[in-house]
Amino acid sequence: MYKILDKKLDKLETDSQQAYIQSLKSYVEQLSIEWGRRPTYFIQTFGCQQNENDSEIIAGVLEASGFVLAESYEEADVSAVNTCSIRENADTRLFGHLGILKTLKNENKNRITILCGCMMTQDQHIEKIKKSFSFVDLIFGPHDIYRLPLLLWDTICNNQRIIAVSEENHWHEQTKLPMARSRKFRGLVSIMYGCDNFCTFCIVPYTRGRESSRSYKSILKEIQELISEGYTEVMLLGQNVNAWGKDLRGKVEGPTNFAELLEAVAQNKELKRIRYMSPNPRDIDQQLIDIIGKYNNIEPHMHLPLQSGSNNILKAMRRRHDRERYLEIVEALREARPEITITTDIMVGFPGETEEDFEDTLDLMKQVKFDSAFTFIYSPREGTPAAEYDNQIDQDTITARFNRLVELQNAHSLASNQSVIGKEVEILLEGISHGDDNILTGRTADFRLINISIPAEIRKRLPEIAINQEGLNGDYFEGKYCLVKLTKAKTFSIEGEMTAFDVNL
C-alpha cells in the first residue's frame, strides 16, 4: 500500500527540508558503520536538460545525506529513474528499466527504487506502476523535488512507500536544496518552469504545469555561485525560456523580460559562453535580438524550434508563429550576429499533414539552411488535442517523409560543417570521446561538436595527471579551453587538431 501525500505543499513542510537532510545524514552515518561502506546511489535521466538539472538536485540531496555515486543500478542501494513523456519512445523505455530494477529488488529487498519526472504526473502510468511494478518505493512528480529530503526520510528511514505528485507549487527558492552538478563545463540554471502554450501535440503543459518564473534575484545569485565555482559557461533553461518574466509582470519590481535577464547575465565578464534553451519564436522580439547582437559572450547560436514549415500545420499545432515570421526572425538574427548558427526541431506526420504541407517544410529548410536539426516523427500523446484528431497519417507515408527530411537536413548539416573547415577556433572541452580514449570532445561557441586529436608535441607537454592507463583523463580536460584547427567535416561533428591547450582566452 502506498501512502499518498497531499497534493499541495505547504510552506512549513518546505522550511523543514534542511532538517530532514541532517536526519538522513545521521541515519546514513549509522548505516555506513554497520555495513562497513557508504551507501550508494545511481540516477538514470531521460529527456530534456531540465530533467538533467532536476537530477542534479536529487544527486545533491543524496550526496549531502552521505550517499556516494555508483556506476549502475546493479551497484546502487538507491536507484532513481527520472522520466520523460514527450514522445512515445521516451516513456516506453521506462518499462524496460523497471524490468531490470524488479530483478534487482527481488535479489535484495533492501534496495530502494525511486521514480520521478514528467511521466509521474500522468495517472495512467501511476496505475500501471501500482499494478505491475509495486516494488517501487517512492514516486514523486516534477513539482515535488523540493520536498525530496522529507520523501527520502520517510522512504529510507521509516520504510514507507510513498506517492507524492503535487499540483503546481514552486517552493524551490525557499528550500535551496544542495546540487551535485554533473558537468564541470556547463552550469545549468533553470530559470522558469512549465509552459502556457498548449501546442496541440505537446504533453509538457500537462506534465510540467503553467509557466512560473524564478525570481531575477535568485537566478543572478545562482549565476554568481557558478562563477565563483569556476564555471565559464552557463545555460539558462526553460521549456519556453524566453517567456521568462511574463508571469511576474505587475507583481514584482525589477526586470520581467528575458532580454533584460540575458543582458544582466552577459554583463558578467567571467562568463565566456551564455546559452539558453529553448526559446519559442512566439516570444522573440527585437529587444532580445539586439541584446544577442550586443554581447559577444551570448552564444552565436540559437536553437529555435520550427516544427513545420506549413502555415496550415502550424495553425493546427497552435504554434503562434507562421513561416513568414520565422523567416523574419532568422533574417534579423543573422543581421545582428552574422556568424550565428541556427538549429531547430522539426516534426513530420502531424495529423492532416499533406504532401504540400510537407513540401512547405522542405522549402523552408532550404531557405534557412539550418546548421543542424532534431527531427521527430509525430507521436500521439494521450491527453493532448492532436491525439484525438481523426486525420492521423499512415506509417508508410510518415516514414517516407521522415527519410526525405533527414536526407535534406543531413546535407545542410554537412555543408554547414564544411564551411568552417580550415578555421582555428576556441573550444570548451567536455571530456573524452565515447569511442576513443585518445580523442577529446568539446564545442565551439556556436555549439558545433568537435572531436579533437592532440599532436605529439602538445601531448608531451601535458602534465602527468592528463593521461592515465586507458588514454586521456577526461576529468582533467573537462571545462578547460583549447584552440583547435578544424580539419574534417562530418554530418554531426567535425574533426580537428589541437593547436594550443589551456589557453587563457
Residues that bind ligand 5AD (CB under 6 A): 86-87, 201-202, 305, 307, 345, 347, 376, 378-379, 381
Cβ count within 10 A of residue 36: 6
Task: Rule CB under 6 A: say whether 308 interacts with ligand SF4.
Answer: no
- In the complex, least distance from residue 77 CB atom to ligand SF4, rounded to whole angstroms: 35
Task: Report what 345 binds from ligand SF4, ligand 5AD, none; CB cut-off 5-8 Å by kind.
Answer: ligand 5AD
495 is in the binding site of which of ligand 5AD, ligand SF4, none (Cβ under 5 to 8 A by kind)? none
Question: Quick check: 349 and 402 in contact, CB under 8 A?
Answer: yes
Query: Closest approach of Cβ 439 to ligand 5AD, in Å?
Result: 29
Given CA atoms 83, 89, 94, 95 in this order, what sign does their dihedral have? positive
* Binding partner of residue 198 among ligand 5AD, ligand SF4, none, CB cut-off 5 to 8 Å per kind: ligand SF4
Interacting residues with ligand SF4 between 241 and 280 (CB under 6 A) = 280
- Contact of 443 with 430, CB cutoff 8 Å: yes
SS3 329: helix
User: Which residue's entry shows cell 501525500?
Assistant: 5
Nearer to ligand 5AD, 136 or 306 (CB): 306
Residue 347: contacted member of ligand SF4, ligand 5AD, none (CB under 5 to 8 Å, by partner type): ligand 5AD
**Which partner from the list ligand 5AD, ligand SF4, none does 86 bind, CB cut-off 5 to 8 Å by kind?**
ligand 5AD
| Binding footprint of ligand SF4, residue count (CB under 6 A) | 10
The single-letter DSSP state of residue 415 is H
Of the candidates 64, 152, 195, 288, which one interacts with ligand SF4 according to CB under 6 A?
Answer: 195
Decide which of ligand SF4, ligand 5AD, none touches 214; Cβ closer than 5 to 8 Å per partner kind.
none
Residue 6: all three cell numbers together: 497531499
Residue (of 49, 13, 45, 18) closest to 193 by Cα position:
49
Q: Report how far residue 292's alpha carbon sits from residue 298's, in angstroms, rounded to the nearest whole number.
A: 6
CB of 400 to ligand 5AD, least distance (A): 17
* Structure letter (DSSP) for residue 139: E
Q: How far is the CB of 231 from ligand 5AD (least distance, A)?
A: 25
Per CB under 6 A, does 204 bind ligand SF4?
A: yes
Residue of 197, 232, 441, 444 that binds ligand SF4 (CB under 6 A): 197
Reference 409, options 433, 444, 376; nearest CA is: 376
As measured in angstroms, the least distance from the Cβ of 94 to ligand SF4 is 20
Q: What SS3 state is found at 448?
A: coil
Residue 239: CB minimum distance to ligand 5AD, A = 9
Q: Identity (one letter) of the amino acid at 57?
A: I
Q: Would you state the cell numbers that stand for residue 387, as one nine-digit string?
A: 491525439
Residue 390 C-beta: closest distance to ligand SF4, Å: 22
DSSP-derived secondary structure letter, 338: T
Provide the β-strand partners of residue 486. 496
Are the C-beta atoms of residues 46 and 94 closer than 8 Å to each other?
yes
Is residue 200 at the binding interface for ligand SF4, with CB under 6 A as the rule? no
Task: Decide if residue 344 touches ligand SF4 (CB under 6 A).
Answer: no
CB 206 within 8 A of CB 177: no
Q: Which does 61 bind (CB under 5 to 8 A by kind): ligand SF4, ligand 5AD, none?
A: none
Parallel, antiparallel, or unpaired: how do β-strands 192-193 and 212-213 relate? antiparallel
379 binds, among ligand 5AD, ligand SF4, none (CB under 5 to 8 A by kind): ligand 5AD
Tell me, what DSSP letter sits at residue 145?
Answer: G
List the single partner that 280 binds among ligand 5AD, ligand SF4, none, CB under 5 to 8 Å by kind: ligand SF4
Binding partner of residue 197 among ligand SF4, ligand 5AD, none, CB under 5 to 8 Å per kind? ligand SF4
Cα atoms in the 13 Å half-sphere on the side-chain side of 301: 21
Residue (86 or 101) nearer to ligand 5AD, CB = 86
First to last CA, the chain: 58
456: amino acid identity, one letter = A
Residue that the C-alpha cell 583547435 belongs to: 484
CA distance 468 to 141: 41
Query: By CB under 6 A, which span of 15-23, 28-36, 61-69, 202-210 interacts with ligand SF4?
Result: 202-210
- Closest residue to ligand 5AD in the complex (CB): 345
Which position has the grid cell 499540483?
167
Kindly state whether residue 198 participates in binding ligand SF4, applying the rule CB under 6 A: yes
Nearer to ligand 5AD, 323 or 381 (CB): 381
Using CB under 6 A, list all residues that contact ligand SF4.
195, 197-199, 202, 204-205, 239-240, 280
